[in-house]
Amino acid sequence: MLHKFIFLVAVISLISDSANGLIKRCYQCRSRGDLGSCKDPFRFNASHIDMEPGVTAIPCASGWCGKVIEGETGAFREDDFDMATQRMCVQRGPDDSEDRCAYTVYNYKKVFMCFCQGDLCNSSVQHRGITKVFIISSFTLFMAKKIISINL
């Protein structure tokens, strides 16, 4: 009976992954200063990007998305009119496969860059995996109660 339970949890996990899509997407856009919609706070989700010119969701084979903030006086100063924000798919993530943000050199400029792995993860807010964990946990608890009541 335990084997059936483990098999069922594995199937639910696979169904959840296929529902979310195997190919991950990243937001792609670029804004400079106060112009454009790419800057933080990023106010869009997957259902609203079709309405915003210049913001798209592109397939990303690596599954790694990035966000680059560049500017002469500092990445987060509001008086930086040369500040630019870009969101994109990156060819590969960090060697240790950990999401992170840090100052680095990109295209010969010092920038603040973030890497994340997951579908549309390069927005401002991150809630990756919470829904999947909640669904799988709830279903697992439900099935465990059913199996226990059947065996009694």
Most confident of 2-6, 68-72, 84-88: 84-88
Q: What is the pLDDT of residues 1-57, one digit of tens each?
A: 555 545 444 444 444 443 455 789 999 999 987 778 888 888 888 777 778 888 999
Q: Which residue carries 């112009």 as its tokens?
A: 35
Q: Are the CB atoms for 89 and 28 separated by under 8 Å?
A: yes
- For the chain, what are the domain ranges? 28-121
What does the pLDDT read at residue 77? 54
Tell if the pTM clears 0.75, that is, is over it. no
Cβ-based neighbour number of residue 6 at 10 Å = 9
Q: What is the pLDDT of residues 93-148, one digit of tens each?
A: 889 999 999 999 988 889 999 999 999 999 875 444 444 444 444 455 455 555 56
What does the pLDDT read at residue 47? 79
Alpha-carbon torsion angle 77, 78, 84, 85, nearest 10? 90
Its CATH class, for the domain covering 28-121, is mainly beta
Q: How far apart are CA 82 and CA 69, in angstroms?
A: 10
